[in-house]
Each structure stands twice: as C-alpha cells, then as structure tokens.
Copies of this chain bind each other. A is one copy, B any other.
Amino acid sequence: MKYIIIFLFASIISSAQINKEQLNIMPWPQNISLSEGVFPLTKNLKVNITGAPNSRIFIGATNFLRRLDGRTGLFFNQGFITGLNELPDAELQINCVRAGKIELYEDESYLLDVTANKITINATTDVGALHALETLLQLLQNNSNSFYFPISKISDFPRFTWRGLMIDVARHFMPVDVIKRNLDGMAAVKMNVFHWHLVDDQGWRIEMKKHPKLIQMASDGNYYTQEEIKSVVKYASDRGILVVPEIDVPGHGSAILTAYPEIGSKVVNLHLNSGEKGQQFTQIQSYSIERNAGIFSPTLDPSNPKTYQLLNEFFDEICPLFPGKFFHIGGDENEGKDWDSNPKIQEFKKKHNLANNHELQTYFTMQLIPMLKKHNKVLMGWEEIMTKNMSKDAIIHSWKGSNEGQPAGKSLADAAKGGYKTVLSNGYYIDLVFGVEDHYSVDPMPKNFVLTDEEKARILGGEATMWTELVTPETLDSRIWPRTAAIAERFWSNENIKDINSLRKRLNTVSFRLEELGLTHLKSKEGLLRNISNNQKSDALVDLSNVCEPIKQYSRNKGGTEYQMYSPLTLFADVCTPDASDAIGFNEAVNDYLNNKTNENQIIVTNYLNKWVNMHANLITLSNNAPLVQPLLPLSKNLKDISEQLLLKINNNQSIGASVLDELLEKCNSKEHADVELAVYNSLKKLVQA
C-alpha cells in the first residue's frame, strides 16, 4: 500500500506543469525555459562541487543547504561542504571554471539546468555559481505534501556590473550583525556592491589606531573595530560583494573637525592670552558632533597642508582594510560658507587662480587622487566633484535630479559624455520612502539623453542609497526591503522586464523569503506595534498601519531639527512602510468596482470601508491604556468619517452633499498627524468623484 501511494504521489508531482507566471524569481533571469515535470526534493539531496572555484562556494553551498532545509524541514543528510568533489554522485552538481574575483566586470553568468533527477550549475566563476544557487532557492515550489523544483533551463547574466546598495552608518550607527544580514539580502537578489558611508557630520565610525581621537571624540562609542571591518569585507566577499568605503570630505566634516579642529575652515577667533612669558595669541576653534539632520557648514580647510597630511595618514590606515579598487571620498553638499568667510582661504584661491569654490574643491579632490593611487585605489565621489579639471580616472556618482533642480539623469549623461565612468543613484533614494513603483520605473540608462555606445559603456550601473537620519537598526531593514529587491531587478534584468503587477506579486514572496536570512523588515513591525499598543493585542492598530505610510521626502523631519539622532524612532511612522498593503489592495478593489459595478466588486470595496469604521472604535478603546495611540485617533477618525459617508453613498445611494464629502475627503489628505499619511486618499477620491 505504501508503495502505491508513493507511486501515485510521484506521478502527481511529475505531471505538474509550472508556468513562468507562478515563479517568484527576482531579479528575473535573462533566459528561462520550463518543461513539464519536476525534480522532487528529498532528504537525500546532496551537493557536489567541481572545477577550480574560490572557497567561497563551499560556504555558499552549505548555506544553501541549510536555508533549503529550514524551509522544507527535510533534514538533509549533508552537513558542511568543505572541499572539491566530496560526493561525485550528488544530485546537485556545481562546476566553476575558475576562482571569481570581487571586482567590476567579473564574469557573474551561470547556467542552471534542472532535470527530473539532476540539477547542474555551470559557471565561469564561483560568483556566478552563487547567483545560480539563489535562483534555485527562488525556484522552489510545493504542493500540499512536498517540495520540488520545476524542470527548467536558465541562462543568466547581469545587465549592469555595478548593482549597489549604500548604507549610511554615520547618522545612525548600524552594528555589524545588521550590516551582515543586509549583505545576505543583497546577495539573495544578486547585488554586488556595498557602499559603506562611514563618516559624516554625525560621527566617525572606523577605529583608527594612529588617530584614536577620531573615535574617542567623534563616535559616541559607536564605531567598527578594524577587525570588524575586515570581517564585514570577508563576509561580503564570501557573498560576491565588493565593499566601497566612503569618507565624506571636505564637507560633512563635523565629526572629523570635532577631533581635528585645526584643519577646519571656520574663521578663527583670536583671543589674547597672558602666558608666563608675556602675551600670546591663541587660536580657539571648536566643533562638535552634529545631532540634527541637514547640510552643515563644517568643512575641511583646502588651504591647510595639515589637512592633506592628516587625510593621507587616514587613508594609509583605512585603505588596507578594503581590498577593493574603489574609494569614495564623498565631496557632496559643500556649500563653502566657511570658505567664503575665511580670508586665508580666499587668499589661497587667488594665489592658485581658482575662480570659485567649485574649482577650489576640485583642487582639494585632486590632492586626494595620488594618496589613493598609492594604495591602488580609484577615487569615486558624488557628482559635485565633476568639474573641467577633474581627473578622468575618477568615478562620478550621480545623485541629483528634479528635486535638486536639474533634469533626472543629466549628471549621469554629462559624466558619461565627459569621459567618466559613472553610477546612478538619483531615483534610487530609498530613504525618501516612496513606493516601489517609483524606483522600479527608473532605468540606469537615461532615455532622455543621446549617448554613444562608448558613452553608454561608461554607465556602470546603479545604487540604492539608504540614508539613516530617521532609521535605527530596528527599522533599517524595513526601509531597505523589499523595495531594494525591485531595484536589484532593474540593475540585473533585461530593461523590458517592467510589469508592475508581476513585480508586486513576486515581491510578496521574495520579501517573505528574505527574512530567512535574519532580516527583520516584516517581523520588526510586531515589536514596535506592541510598544505603541502598550502590550495590548490589537488588529485595529495593524489595520491602521496597513493604510498609512510615513510622510515622504524628508518632510517628517522639518528643517532637520524635529528629530535628533537620539530621538525615539519607535513611533507609528516607524512601523509604517511605503507600499502600504491595504492601500494597494483597496486601490485595486476601487478600480475593479468603478470599471464593473458588480455586487461582488462592491462587497470587496465596502468590506474595506466597514473595516475602517470598526477600526476607529477599536482604536479608541485601545487608546484608553496606550498614550502612543492617542495621536493616531485623528487619522482613524478621518478615515472612519469618509468611510461612513461612502458606505451610505454606495449601499444606499445617499449623500450628504458634495461639499461636505469633499471636506471629509480632504481631511484624509492631511499630513499633520503622527508623521504619516493615509495612503488610501487617491482611491477614496475616486469613490467620492464617481
């Protein structure tokens, strides 16, 4: 009897035909074909590795086994993979021609072939093979009783060689484990550059053995030891990821100048000081770690030889920690206020025939190139470093766009035309908390500028930027994921892969699976809500969080002074995320209903409205023992009020009159409550105006 069941069961699985639409692969591969049938997973699955790979593939393959085992509970027999050709008969064979290098333009391609009883991965390098293992994990399917892979052939390679994520650890320090879990997330979606923003006005984050003042005076005790940095670089390398450190100069200099005020540009106050041997002049300058957010004037003095001496010494200590070829020196947002008001610097400008501060900054930046070249490093900087005299070896990081008063992609195109290699971040500022569609629709290859093939080739790719003025280790993941997976697809996949519905559907599963890596973007919500609700169980609070999004584009921290770097980021706005799930669902429901007013479609809409009417009553009850719920009540009241009227309108064809309805609607467009906005406003408006 047992045999018959197994036989039947196997035949059910093997006849399954999976469609591409069922797959939740992200980034979508360049070529994929599916055939009928499956490779059934059992506890006997084993992995064998051949060829001449870097040993990172052993770690990657072992992690693959553990992740698959965690999902399926199959208790795989194989424990640790530590060498070549350990199990020649294994069902999963990985062959790598040679060891991959962690650098740009490395061959990251792979072929993945799943048949009914064998899986083969062929790749030039172990980096490609790691990508194949991530794709294979994403291929996993199940029925009610078992797990399997569909029979398939995939040939894949990246569209862009620079697929980056920047994390700012200066505004809010992010411990090593937080960085590492995000490196795992990057690897899962085939990103390959981690840009580590290590220094800014709010802190210096690298242990400096020869200049300990930097961490003693400018880190609040929050910094990475050099050993930790090495361990992050190794961890990244094991996942095929290059680490690019950033030391932001000459602006964003408060932290550096807190330790070394003598290289600051601020005009020096001269005080008379009566020393033992008569009168002396003493220079009094002072800087302190910045606690607010914004653009500040502390700037290194480009006319002071000591500035270059110190930076040279810093780089001598920092460069050996990072084996990669690129070193980011920032260079952004230097407004030059302290330069303008410093006569010594003005004199220096004249002496060197530097027409303006931009030229002065170029002078400064050019001094850094040989300091880095000595360590075999290429200088990279934000687009402000690009001037007519800037070395063509520098890499231009394009970040400005329409918000900064220039056409999107212009600086990228200018850089490419000007002979610079360049990377795009405008459009990928995930800290603005826009929805995923905004970022997904931005292509790193600008459409509104005509570029030659040679110029296009200088566009290395793109990079999502996670600035952390309003982000803590607890909320970081929910600000990066899952949206960054969609950006990763933009960087890797064919430019024609852009269907937003397919993206949303796949993102749902990809997001869920990312948590197996230790990421907390979904589960951190529960803990934060528990605090807000004062440990009271509440579906109402969850419901409200599913229709609210944090207010966008830096409007939460008006002028940069509402929140300090030590302010509580445990509030409702920190729970809410872009792409509020019920807002998306409600929008679909409203569109369906307005297109086709069936009873069924109407019920879906009115279920939402009824939910929000009840939600408000429940939140009032909840607030009796939860002060942090009080500020949310105006939001839920506004949503309740319009929902009640819309229910009357839809169900009973009653209306209180257009002007009152409009007034209620507009209350739902308020951004005055709890730093969030009701993400259902546009859908409500459609119903009001229907």
Residues of A bordering B, CB below 8 Å: 59, 66, 69-75, 79-80, 142-147, 175-177, 220-221, 225, 227, 231, 291, 474, 508-509, 512, 515-516, 518, 522-524, 526-527, 530-531, 534-535, 563-568, 570-571, 623-628, 630
Cβ–Cβ < 8 Å partners of A508 in chain B: 535
Cβ–Cβ < 8 Å partners of A71 in chain B: 531, 570
Centre residue among A73, A145, A565, A626 by max chain B CB count within 10 A:
A73
Cβ–Cβ < 8 Å partners of A79 in chain B: 291, 564-566
Given contacts A175-B177, A176-B177, A220-B80, contact A147 B627 (CB under 8 A): yes
Pick from B474, B518, B623, B628: contact of A73, CB below 8 A. Answer: B628
Tell me the smallest distance from the CB of A473 to a CB of chain B, in Å.
Answer: 8
Report Cα–Cα, A534/B146, bound state, in Å: 12
B509 touches A535 (CB 8 A): yes
Report Cα–Cα, A80/B145, bound state, in Å: 55
A69 touches B625 (CB 8 A): no
Pick from B69, B72, B142, B227: contact of A225, CB below 8 A. Answer: B227
A and B contact pairs by CB, cutoff 8 A, 9 listed? A70-B570, A71-B531, A142-B625, A143-B625, A144-B623, A144-B625, A145-B630, A176-B176, A522-B527
Report Cα–Cα, A363/B171, bound state, in Å: 58
Report Cα–Cα, A508/B530, bound state, in Å: 12
B177 touches A568 (CB 8 A): no
A72 touches B627 (CB 8 A): yes
B567 touches A75 (CB 8 A): yes
B75 touches A568 (CB 8 A): yes
B144 touches A73 (CB 8 A): no
Apart from A59-B221, A69-B566, A70-B570: 4 A-B pairs, beta carbons within 8 A: A142-B626, A225-B227, A509-B535, A515-B527
Report Cα–Cα, A627/B142, bound state, in Å: 7
Cβ–Cβ < 8 Å partners of A145 in chain B: 627, 630
Tell me the smallest distance from the CB of A477 to a CB of chain B, in Å.
Answer: 12
Q: State how many copies of this chain the complex holds.
A: 2
Report Cα–Cα, A567/B143, bound state, in Å: 23
Report Cα–Cα, A604/B231, bound state, in Å: 55
Given contacts A176-B177, A526-B523, A535-B509, contact A627 B566 (CB under 8 A): no
A522 touches B530 (CB 8 A): yes
Report Cα–Cα, A563/B76, bound state, in Å: 11
Report Cα–Cα, A530/B143, bound state, in Å: 17
Report Cα–Cα, A146/B426, bound state, in Å: 43
Report Cα–Cα, A138/B66, bound state, in Å: 40
Cβ–Cβ < 8 Å partners of A509 in chain B: 535
Pick from B146, B231, B531, B535: contact of A70, CB below 8 A. Answer: B531
Cβ–Cβ < 8 Å partners of A177 in chain B: 175-177
Pick from B70, B72, B566: contact of A80, CB below 8 A. Answer: B566
Pick from B69, B142, B530: contact of A568, CB below 8 A. Answer: B69
Nearest-neighbor residue (CB-CB) of A512 within chain B: B535
Cβ–Cβ < 8 Å partners of A563 in chain B: 75
Nearest-neighbor residue (CB-CB) of A519 within chain B: B527
Tell me the smallest distance from the CB of A646 to a CB of chain B, in Å.
Answer: 26
Cβ–Cβ < 8 Å partners of A231 in chain B: 225
Report Cα–Cα, A227/B176, bound state, in Å: 14
B624 touches A144 (CB 8 A): yes
Given contacts A142-B625, A144-B630, A530-B512, contact A568 B74 (CB under 8 A): yes
B571 touches A73 (CB 8 A): yes
Nearest-neighbor residue (CB-CB) of A24 within chain B: B535
B568 touches A73 (CB 8 A): yes
Pick from B66, B73, B146: contact of A566, CB below 8 A. Answer: B66
Tell me the smallest distance from the CB of A25 to a CB of chain B, in Å.
Answer: 16
Cβ–Cβ < 8 Å partners of A516 in chain B: 531
Tell me the smallest distance from the CB of A58 to a CB of chain B, in Å.
Answer: 10
A146 touches B527 (CB 8 A): no
Cβ–Cβ < 8 Å partners of A626 in chain B: 142, 144
Cβ–Cβ < 8 Å partners of A75 in chain B: 563, 567-568
B515 touches A70 (CB 8 A): no
Report Cα–Cα, A615/B353, bound state, in Å: 80
Report Cα–Cα, A443/B643, bound state, in Å: 59
Report Cα–Cα, A563/B566, bound state, in Å: 44
Report Cα–Cα, A112/B195, bound state, in Å: 48
A568 touches B70 (CB 8 A): yes
Nearest-neighbor residue (CB-CB) of A631 within chain B: B73
Cβ–Cβ < 8 Å partners of A570 in chain B: 70-71, 73
Report Cα–Cα, A373/B298, bound state, in Å: 54
Report Cα–Cα, A541/B631, bound state, in Å: 33
Cβ–Cβ < 8 Å partners of A564 in chain B: 79
Cβ–Cβ < 8 Å partners of A522 in chain B: 526-527, 530
Tell me the smallest distance from the CB of A32 to a CB of chain B, in Å.
Answer: 22
Nearest-neighbor residue (CB-CB) of A474 within chain B: B518
Tell me the smallest distance from the CB of A198 to a CB of chain B, in Å.
Answer: 19
Report Cα–Cα, A518/B69, bound state, in Å: 27
A146 touches B627 (CB 8 A): yes
Tell me the smallest distance from the CB of A62 to a CB of chain B, in Å.
Answer: 9
Report Cα–Cα, A564/B220, bound state, in Å: 43
B535 touches A144 (CB 8 A): no
Tell me the smallest distance from the CB of A536 to a CB of chain B, in Å.
Answer: 10
Tell me the smallest distance from the CB of A690 to a CB of chain B, in Å.
Answer: 30
Cβ–Cβ < 8 Å partners of A66 in chain B: 566, 568
Report Cα–Cα, A624/B143, bound state, in Å: 7
Cβ–Cβ < 8 Å partners of A175 in chain B: 177
Report Cα–Cα, A509/B225, bound state, in Å: 36
Report Cα–Cα, A526/B516, bound state, in Å: 12
Cβ–Cβ < 8 Å partners of A142 in chain B: 534, 625-627
Nearest-neighbor residue (CB-CB) of A147 within chain B: B627
Cβ–Cβ < 8 Å partners of A624 in chain B: 144
Nearest-neighbor residue (CB-CB) of A142 within chain B: B627
Nearest-neighbor residue (CB-CB) of A569 within chain B: B70
Nearest-neighbor residue (CB-CB) of A531 within chain B: B71
Tell me the smallest distance from the CB of A574 to a CB of chain B, in Å.
Answer: 10
Report Cα–Cα, A71/B626, bound state, in Å: 10
Tell me the smallest distance from the CB of A71 to a CB of chain B, in Å.
Answer: 6
Nearest-neighbor residue (CB-CB) of A70 within chain B: B570
